[in-house]
Amino acid sequence: MRQLVIIAVHVLISAVFAAISGLAAHKILMNSLSTARAEMLQSYIRVRADREQTLFDEARTLTEAAEAAFLRRLSRIEGEEIVDEFDALFPPFGDGTRRSHPDLFDGRALPGADYVFGIGSYLGDGEQMTIEERRRYMAGFHVVRVFGEAHLGEFSSLYYFTPDRRVVIFAPEREDRLAFYRYEAPADFNLQADEDPRLFSPETNPESLMQCTRLSRFVYTDGGERSATACRKPIRVDGELMGAFGTSIDMTEHLASSMEAPPAGGVNLVFDRDGNVIARGQTVQQARAFGIDPVEIMGLLRDDPRPRGVVGTPRSEFLVAFSRIAGPDWYFVSVSHLAEIKATATRWGWRLFFFIFVVSVVITSLRGLLRRTEMVRAFLEPPVAAPTTRRYTAAPARPDSGEEAPGPNGTKSVIDRPGPQDDA
């Protein structure tokens, strides 16, 4: 019975020691792998987000350059000098509006060996435009045609518009040839979009920054669904609104390419500023099976003031790498599942547990067996030296010691010891 208790104690100690070692290894490995994954995501999101941001940075550069060119031209245009040219380019349409001359889209020579094409315009209440309003639209027209043509390979359109239902557009590759603005739009057509007040208001956009509209989806003539956004920058001079330059960006291929090459064990998503998922690398069913909760992810992003970074979900199921895209105020997000890391850490934790447990039990068993062997026990445990005893015996007296010596019958006799005077 005593031996069984000893064995049980040894096994329990081995199990406890192995469990502690396994748990420690699991935690250390989990932290190390999670840190490595977070660093990988940090590098990944930096490269991918810069690529996503580039398109809108280029749009910002274009609209800012257009604004500067507009102000230069406006300062040099005299109102009385452009009346005839304005009437020729934007004749009355007969319903109180002005539309662009058909040749402005098909192609038309301008004075000074210049050439214009791909232009369509709609000027609400155009017949009532003042000289100052005409000056602005002539400046906007020349900027749109020059800058639009120069950046045609990058942006499919460039336009100048004002909140009073007037717009001039350069978009030569439009399959509809801008027919709606040139011919079809009714005289009371309202150009203002729902987001125009947010763009033009000094309260919501005091610094006149470029802003992009929400993603719009539409079915194009090829039968496929397309998505686009419009990025516009207002122009103010001494607080007076002069209009805005904008460009429409087809985001269909761009968003599709954003979903490609997600991080290991993860998926890419794009959120708009309202928290809606506008692009995902998985279907909704796959995302649900994956365990992704867009509401939870967007809550984490809104609480994080950084422009980019990596955060973990409350239940430590995912690592979420994100980057804010300035302009449309979107979020490019890469979500990486930690299930693989957890499985790896758990597997190695159990392996270490069994290894240490088995080794500890084996060593304990061998130690017990060796102690039962006489030869090994004699080797391991050195013999204990026997206690020493002292024996006292009477020493025979020397002849010259002057001490009594035992006689033949056990009697003692005194032996004279010569003194100094005898030696003398």
| Helices and strands of the chain, counted as H and E runs | 12, 17
Q: Tell me the pLDDT tens digit for each residue of 151-201.
A: 988 898 999 998 888 999 999 998 899 999 999 999 999 887 778 888 888
Q: How far apart are CA 345 and CA 29, in angstroms?
A: 6
Q: Tell me the pLDDT tens digit for each residue of 375-418.
A: 555 655 566 565 665 555 555 555 554 445 455 444 444 444 45
Handedness of CA 314, 286, 267, 213 (dihedral sign): negative
Residue 128: strand, helix, or coil:
helix
Given this model, what pLDDT does residue 99 score? 96
Query: Is the distance from CB of 412 to CB of 420 less than 8 angstroms?
Result: no
Question: How high is the mean pLDDT in each 10-residue block of the chain (424 residues)?
Answer: 73 82 82 80 84 90 96 90 91 94 94 91 93 94 95 92 92 92 92 82 90 76 70 92 92 80 80 86 55 82 87 79 90 83 80 83 74 59 59 55 49 48 44
What is the H or E stretch that residue 226 is in?
A: strand 225-237
Ranges of beta strands (E only) in 188-259 are: 211-212, 216-219, 225-237, 240-250
Handedness of CA 199, 144, 104, 128 (dihedral sign): positive
Strand partners, 308: 323
What type of residue is 101? H
Given this model, what pLDDT does residue 414 score? 46
CA-angle at 261, arms to 255 and 267, nearest 5°: 75
What type of residue is 141? F
In 3D, which of 217, 240, 239 has the Cα closest to residue 228?
217
Q: How many CB atoms lie within 10 A of CB 123?
A: 27
Handedness of CA 199, 200, 205, 208 (dihedral sign): positive
Handedness of CA 336, 337, 340, 346 (dihedral sign): positive
Given this model, what pLDDT does residue 300 score? 86
